[in-house]
Structure 1
C-alpha cells in the first residue's frame, strides 16, 4: 500500500444542473497544469458523462475491472494536461453495491495506481442518494458547488445536515457557480452559511466563485475544458484561482490521507448501510 498522501476531493452539489462536473474537469486540468498528477473518478453511475464531455471514447469502464477483465490502469483515459479519467458505465450497478469479492478486487485495483497520483477528484451524481453520500463521506475534502437558486441552496443545506448528523462531517468547502461576480458569490455563501449556523455545528469555507460565462457553455459544446478552450475568459481565470486555493489546502498526514483508506472507508460505509461486513485489509 502506498504511504504517500493523496488528496481525495469529492465534488458534489445536491441538485443537478449546478455545474459540478465542469468544476471537476476544469479543476483537474488546472491542478495538472500546476504539476499535480490528477485522476478523476466518474462516480455518476446513472448518467456517467465525463468522457463524453471531453470528447473521449471509452471501450472499457470500471465495470470491466470489477469483472476481472482488465486492470484499472487499462481503463483510464488520458485527457487534457495529462489528467486521467476513470469512466463509469451509465445505467449499471453502482460502485458502492458490490459483493465482498468485488470489494477486495476494487481495493486491489486502486492499490496498483496509488503511487501514480497526487489528487483524486470524485465527481458524484446529483442528489443525496446512498451512493453519493458514501463517496462524499469517505473523501478527505468535500467541495460543494452551489448556484444562486433556492433549490440549490436548499439541497446543499440538506446534504450538509445529513453528513453532519450521520457521519460527523464538520468542514465543507463551497464554490459559488454561475454568479454575476465574486460579490454575488460571497453573498450566496453568506446566505448558506447563515442558515447552517442556525441549525448545524459545521464550518463552511468559501473556496471561490465562477461567473456565468458564455465561453464555458461554448467549451462544453466543443467538448473541451474552458481552461483550455478559452484560457483568458472570466470563468477560466476564476477556475485557476480556485485551483490555487486547492493547492494551498493542507495535505492529510495521517492514515486518512492515503488512497486506500478512502477506498476502504467507501466499502465500509456501503457494507454498514446494507448490513454486511466489509473485508478487512492491511
Structure 2
C-alpha cells in the first residue's frame, strides 16, 4: 500500500514539473504585409537563442513557409488526419534546427474532427507542447470563422502591419474582432516595411492609441522592421533574410523584436503552465 502511495506521489510530482510550450499566432488584417516572412525569421531567431521552436503553417491553400526557407515537405497536417501519421512524422526540420509543419488545408480539418480524431489530436499535440518551447502558428491573412476559433486558443497574438493606412485599418479591425470574442488575450504589435524610425514609431503609436481609446485594451509594441530590398533578394533565393544577411538592419530588427517578446513571454515564469491551449481548444470543439 505504501509503495502504491509513493508511486502516485512520484507521478503527481512529475506531472507538476512538466513545462508546456508557449503558443502564439502571427496574424495580419490583409495579405502582402510580410507576415509569413516575419514568422519564419522570428522562429529562426528564437532557435538561434537556444529555444526549441515548431512553426506551423496555417495559411490554408496559400502556405509558403517551405518556399521561403527553400525546404519543401511532402507531408502536411492532412496526412495526420487522412493517413494516420503521427504529428512527429509530419514535422520537417528547417534551417537553424527550426521544426515546421506544412498546413495545406489543415485548419478546416481541425474543426471537422470526429470525437475519436480530436482525442488523438489532443494526445499527439500534448507531446508537441511538452517538447517545444514555442509553437508558432502562421495564420492566413484576414480572419474566418474557423481561424478565429483557433486564434482564441493561443497564449499570445502578434499582429503584423505596415505604415499604409489600409494596413493600419485592417490591423485594427482584426484586433477589434478577436477582442470582441476574447478580450483578455495578449496582443503584440510589429510594424513592417517602415522607411525610417519616425514612421515606425508613429504607426505603432497611432494603432496603440486607437485600440486604447475604442477597445479599452492595451497592445504591446515589439518594434518595427525597416523596408529593405535585400528581403526580396532573400525570398528570390529562398533563403531566410536572417541567414542571407545577418548584420543587415532587417535582421538586427528581428533580433531586437525577438528578445523583447521573449522577455515579455517569460515574465513571472509564464513558460511553465498548465496546458491551457488544449483546454481552450477542447472547450471550443465541445460547442461545435
Structure 2: distance between partners of 1:123 and 1:80 = 17
Query: How big is the shift at 1:26?
Result: 0.3
More helix by share: 2
Tell me if the contact between 2:107 and 2:146 (Cα under 8 Å) persists in the aligned partners: no
Query: Is residue 268 of structure 1 aligned with residue 279 of structure 2?
Result: no
Bigger shift: 161-170 or 13-22?
161-170
Query: Is residue 142 of structure 1 aligned with residue 165 of structure 2?
Result: no
Bigger shift: 103-112 or 248-257?
248-257
Which residue of structure 1 aligns with residue 60 of structure 2?
45
Q: Deviations over 1:33-54 (max 9, x none)?
A: 0000000011112312211221
The aligned length equals 272
Alignment of 1:1-282 (within 5 A): 3-90=18-105, 93-169=108-184, 171-251=186-266, 257-258=273-274, 260-272=275-287, 276=288
Secondary structure of the residue that 2:264 maps to in structure 1?
Answer: coil
RMSD after superposition: 2.2
**Given the two structures, how large is their TM-score scaled by the length of structure 1?**
0.89
Structure 2: distance between partners of 1:80 and 1:244 = 19
Secondary structure of the residue that 2:247 maps to in structure 1?
Answer: coil
Secondary structure of the residue that 2:192 maps to in structure 1?
Answer: strand
Structure 2: distance between partners of 1:126 and 1:267 = 24
Secondary structure of the residue that 1:59 maps to in structure 2?
Answer: coil
Structure 2: distance between partners of 1:193 and 1:263 = 30
Structure 1: distance between partners of 2:18 and 2:245 = 38
Secondary structure of the residue that 1:3 maps to in structure 2?
Answer: coil
Q: Deviations over 1:31-74 (max 9, x none)?
A: 10000000001111231221122111212111111235211111
Structure 1: distance between partners of 2:185 and 2:90 = 34
Note closer, same or farther for the CA distance 1:271–1:182 as it changes in structure 2 (3 Å cut). farther
Structure 2: distance between partners of 1:247 and 1:216 = 24
Note closer, same or farther for the CA distance 1:257–1:45 as it changes in structure 2 (3 Å cut). farther
**Given the two structures, how large is their TM-score scaled by the length of structure 2?**
0.87
Note closer, same or farther for the CA distance 1:91–1:116 as it changes in structure 2 (3 Å cut). closer
Bigger shift: 1-10 or 41-50?
1-10
The ranges of structure 1 where at least 4 consecutive aligned residues each deviate by more than 6 angstroms after the TM superposition are: none
Structure 1: distance between partners of 2:27 and 2:178 = 12
Note closer, same or farther for the CA distance 1:106–1:242 as it changes in structure 2 (3 Å cut). same
Query: How big is the shift at 1:211?
Result: 0.4
Give 5+ residue unaligned stretches, structure 2: 1-14
Secondary structure of the residue that 1:249 maps to in structure 2?
Answer: helix
Query: How big is the shift at 1:115?
Result: 2.6
Secondary structure of the residue that 1:9 maps to in structure 2?
Answer: strand
Tell me if the contact between 1:62 and 1:86 (Cα under 8 Å) persists in the aligned partners: yes
Note closer, same or farther for the CA distance 1:14–1:89 as it changes in structure 2 (3 Å cut). same
